[in-house]
Each structure stands twice: as structure tokens, then as C-alpha cells.
Amino acid sequence: MKDVLLQAEKLATAILDSEIYINMRKMEHDFTKDAMATKVLSETAEKRSAVERILSENDLDHNALAAAAKDLEDAEESMNRNETIKALKEARSQFSAMMTNVNQILRFVITGETGEEGGCNGSCDSCSGCHAH
């Protein structure tokens, strides 16, 4: 058991030391320092909440819903144009993909199954998707 925990700690350290993780943390830091990005994200969340509130009302006001949906769409467009937010989304996507690959490799080594058709087979020889090595 001790060896398993030691290896898990080594894996965690390798993840923390990976360029992908370091980049994601940098993008998260950059986001928190970017007032416009945080404002755009906050406004989008507020607009989404407004739509959800209208949808939860017993007497649905279709005009209010249409207006709120348009406001949300505009806010999402602003969010999607923000370079800091785009960089953060990309960094998080790369980290998620790396963690998916790690989990698939663990699953394959332990069970011999990938759990997904066309997923990682545990061999890096023919893989173009894993950036962990």
C-alpha cells in the first residue's frame, strides 16, 4: 500500500510540474488580474441567472424571456471574444484532456479496458493525443 501511495504522490507531482498544469494556473492568475474578463464573466452569469429565474416562474412571460435570452446571447458573445477568457478555456481544456488521458492509461493498465471506443489504449507508440511524455 505504501508503494502505491508513493507512486500516486509522484504522479500528482508530475501533474503539478507539467507545462499544461503550469500554463492553466498562469491563465487562471491572468484572468483574476483582468478586470474586463472578470466583468464579462460576471455579467454572463447574471444574464444566465435572469433567464433561469424567468423560466422558473409559474406565469412565463415570453417577451421577458426573449429579452433576457437576447441579453444572455450578447453577454456570451462578449465573453467568447475576450482573449483572456479564451486562453483560460483553452488551458483548462488541455488540462482536462491530459487528465482524461491519465485516467484512461490507469484504467487500461489496471483492467485492460479503455472504457471508450477509440480512446487511449495505454500504448504511446501510436498515440498522437497524449502530451504527458
* Contact criterion met (CB below 8 Å) for 104 and 119: yes
Provide the pLDDT for residue 133. 47
How far is the C-alpha of 82 from the C-alpha of 78, rounded, in Å?
6
Q: How far is residue 88's CA from residue 97's CA, in Å, rounded to a whole number?
A: 14
Cell 489496471 maps to which residue? 110
Q: What is the pLDDT of residues 59-81, one digit of tens each?
A: 888 999 999 999 999 999 999 99
pLDDT for the residue 118: 52
Q: What is the pLDDT of residue 113?
A: 83
Asked if 84 and 31 touch (Cβ cutoff 8 Å), the reply is yes
Domain range annotation of the chain: 2-111
Largest CA distance in the chain: 62
* Regions of the chain where pLDDT drops below 50: 132-133
Residue 24 is predicted with a pLDDT of 98
Which candidate, 93, 95, 82, places its Cα nearest to that of 31?
82
Which CATH class, in words, describes the domain spanning 2-111?
mainly alpha
Whether the predicted model's global pTM rises above the 0.95 cut: no
Q: How long a stretch of residues is the chain?
A: 133
